[in-house]
Structures are given as C-alpha cells and as structure tokens.
Amino acid sequence: MKTLYITSAETFSGKSALCVGLGMQFRKDGLKVAYMKPVAVNAQVRDGVPYDEDVHFARQVYGMTESVDLMAPVALTPAKLEQQLRGPEVDYAPKLLEAVKRLSEGRDVLVLEGGRSLREGYVAGLPPKRVVELTNAQVLEVIRYDDTLLYDRAMTGQNYFGPTMIGVVLNEVPRTQMDFVTEIVKPFLARKGIQTFAILPSEQMLSAPSVLELAEGLGAEILCASECSEELVEHMLVGAMSVESALTYFRRKPNKAVVTGGDRADIQLAALETSTRCLILTGNLYPSPAVLNRAEELCVPVLLTKLDTLATIEIIERYFGRSRFQQAKKMERFTEMLNEHFDFAALYNVMGLTAK
C-alpha cells in the first residue's frame, strides 16, 4: 500500500482539487484508494460535531463508506484547540495511526490532504513532516504560480521534507507564462532534483464562486431563480452608468454578476439581455416586478442585500480565486486538465504503482 501526502505552502493552491482529481484517476486505473485529512486545526462545527466540506466531498467522490471521523481523525474544533492550549496536551499520534491502519485495509493507495500550510499542525504535535514520517508517505507539493516565489516555494518544500518529497505540481500558471515555466522553470527545478509532474494553466472557471456562495457571503436574500444558484460567476461588473452605455459595457464580460441599486430597473433589464449569472441589488431596495419576471424567465437569480455598493464589492472580490472546489462543473473541468497536463506515468513510476 502506498501513501501520498499532498501539501502546499499556502492556502487556495489547489490541494483539494488535486486530491479529488488524482483519486478519480487512481480509481479509473483500477486501484483501490482512500482519502484522509490527517489534521485540521480550524475544524468547523455543524450540529455539534466537527464538519469539513473537503472530507465530505472526497468521501462522495471516492465512494468511501467509512465514517467522516475516521477520514478526519484529528479535527481540532475551537473547543478542542483551547483544551490543547490549556493542557494537559493530548497525544494525537495514536489516533492518527489507528485511522491510517483502518483506511489502508484492502487499499492500494491512501491519499492524505495536508493542511493550509507547512506551519499547520504543531499545536496537535502533528506538523506535516511528522505526519509524513508516521504514515511513511511520499510528498507531492502543489504550488500556485507566483512570478517571484515559485522556485523558492518548491525548494522550501524540498528542504523541509527531504527525499520523501517526490515532486511538484505548478498550478494556475497564466497562459502567457506557460512556455516560460515549461522551458525555463521546469528544467531549473529538475537541476535541483525536483520533478515537475504537471504545469496546469490558469482557468478562470475553477476560481469562480457560485451565485449561492456570493449570496451566503453577502447575507443576501435570493428573490427568484434559486434553482440556478449553483451557476458560476467569472466576472463582476458594477452598473452605475447610463442605460445608453449599459449594453455595450455588459457585453464585455460573460458569466458575470452585476451589482447595482435596487431602483435601477433600466440597468437591471439591460444586464439581463447579456450573459449574466445573477443580479446583486444593494441598499435593500426591492426591484420592480418586471425585473423579477424577466429574471425568472431567464433563470437569473436576483440577490437582495442590505449592504451598500462599496461594501458589496469588497466582499465579492474576496471570493474570486478563493472559491470552493466542491462543484461538479469544476471537478469535470479540472479532471480534463489533469488528463491533458499531468504525467501520470511518471507519478506511478516514482510511487511504484501499476494500473490494473
């Protein structure tokens, strides 16, 4: 049985997406695979128990029947974190090892999803390097493109994990930089002993929030077409111009959210004549029936928020590039990208795996 630990130097680098994508490929190749998130120090609580969206999504995709508790054995909720800080400290290593043992039974591969950074887990006595040592895992680091820190992050991972790190995946590379990364960066890393398994281009859809995510973030009410709230928003435009300029302006960006005042029916109707995923009406001003009827016909959700336009824009901007991956459209597109860009043969060779 092989164990693969997928980590990153920062949040929102693509760990969850890669865990799901690789797991699907392993299963496609006839391998029996399981998923685990060994340590989470920011576990949310839902209905009185720890809840992790990544774990629930992976459980579904991997087709696992084991309990979520087994898949996330060390989930530190705020209460458990405080208990650990106050003492006496809990030794979580035995619990982790027991979970690994049980999930490994009858499996060919165990995929471990690392925490938010290489610094997470110390409070539980289980930093990434310790987890890798305990589970005898090989390490794959996901690095989000950065024009100045890309190389340093790869070499930091290599220095931290040592020979257990088998390579990197370079993610969200701007298409204008693909040739540079392929022809210059990849050979440079190879000279440093770091294998690059994939160079994945930036894909706007993968970083796009859903309408529902925006509604939740804004505390907004969805007035109509809630059945289309899983649609992805790739752009945001503010409707603060004259109606004469609106159509030309709105046609510039597809799959967008349009933010405007609830009293601007002319702007709202103009936006609905273009590729618009949702209308976000600020100031708690209710729209006209004509707008709601047209939006319902087109299945374009209309969101009503009490916030002003500036506050609304600030919140929405936080979601772009930091959106959840757990959506079917994103998973399908990311799988296509892996099939096109990931060197599975090289990974299987390094891990000692054989497709069945």
Would residue 356 count as lying in a domain? no
Would residue 57 count as lying in a domain? yes
DSSP states along 193-237: T--EEEEEEP-GGGGPPBHHHHHHHHT-EEEE-GGGTT-B--EEE
Shared domain for 118 and 214, answered yes or no, is no
Shared domain for 178 and 133, answered yes or no, is yes
Residues 161-197 pLDDT 10s? 999 999 999 999 999 999 999 999 999 999 999 999 9
How much of the chain, in percent, has pLDDT values that exceed 90? 76
The dihedral built from the CA positions of residue 114, 115, 120 and 123, taken in this order, carries a sign that is negative
Shared domain for 87 and 111, answered yes or no, is yes
pLDDT recorded at residue 321: 66
Shared domain for 145 and 10, answered yes or no, is yes
Shared domain for 31 and 48, answered yes or no, is yes
pLDDT higher than 90, residue 305: yes
CATH number at residue 267: 3.40.1390.20
Would residue 308 count as lying in a domain? yes
Shared domain for 133 and 10, answered yes or no, is yes
pLDDT higher than 90, residue 117: no
Would residue 167 count as lying in a domain? yes
Would residue 246 count as lying in a domain? yes
Distance CA 240, CA 271 (A): 12
Beta bridge mates, 75: 40
Q: What are phi and psi of 212, to 5 degrees?
A: -65, -40
What is the span of the domain harbouring residue 227? 209-319
pLDDT recorded at residue 141: 97
pLDDT higher than 80, residue 47: no
Would residue 84 count as lying in a domain? yes
135, two tokens: 């589970």
Shared domain for 145 and 177, answered yes or no, is yes
Q: Do the beta carbons of residue 202 and residue 174 sit within 8 Å?
A: yes
Residues 318-330 pLDDT 10s? 888 666 677 778 8
Distance CA 277, CA 257 (A): 6
Shared domain for 98 and 240, answered yes or no, is no
Shared domain for 197 and 343, answered yes or no, is yes
Would residue 229 count as lying in a domain? yes
**What is the pLDDT averaged over residues 197-220?**
93
Shared domain for 180 and 309, answered yes or no, is no
Distance CA 356, CA 350 (A): 17
Total tally of structural domains belonging to the chain: 2
Distance CA 212, CA 233 (A): 10
User: Crossing angle of helices 53-62/15-28, nearest 10°?
Assistant: 10
Residue with tokens 């757990």, as numbered in its chain: 326
Shared domain for 88 and 228, answered yes or no, is no
Q: Do the beta carbons of residue 105 and residue 75 sit within 8 Å?
A: no
pLDDT recorded at residue 356: 80
Read off the amino acid at residue 156.
Answer: T
Shared domain for 315 and 339, answered yes or no, is no
pLDDT higher than 80, residue 48: no
Residues 245-281 pLDDT 10s? 888 889 999 999 999 988 889 999 999 999 999 999 9
Would residue 76 count as lying in a domain? yes
Residue with tokens 């990153």, as numbered in its chain: 8
CATH number at residue 14: 3.40.50.300
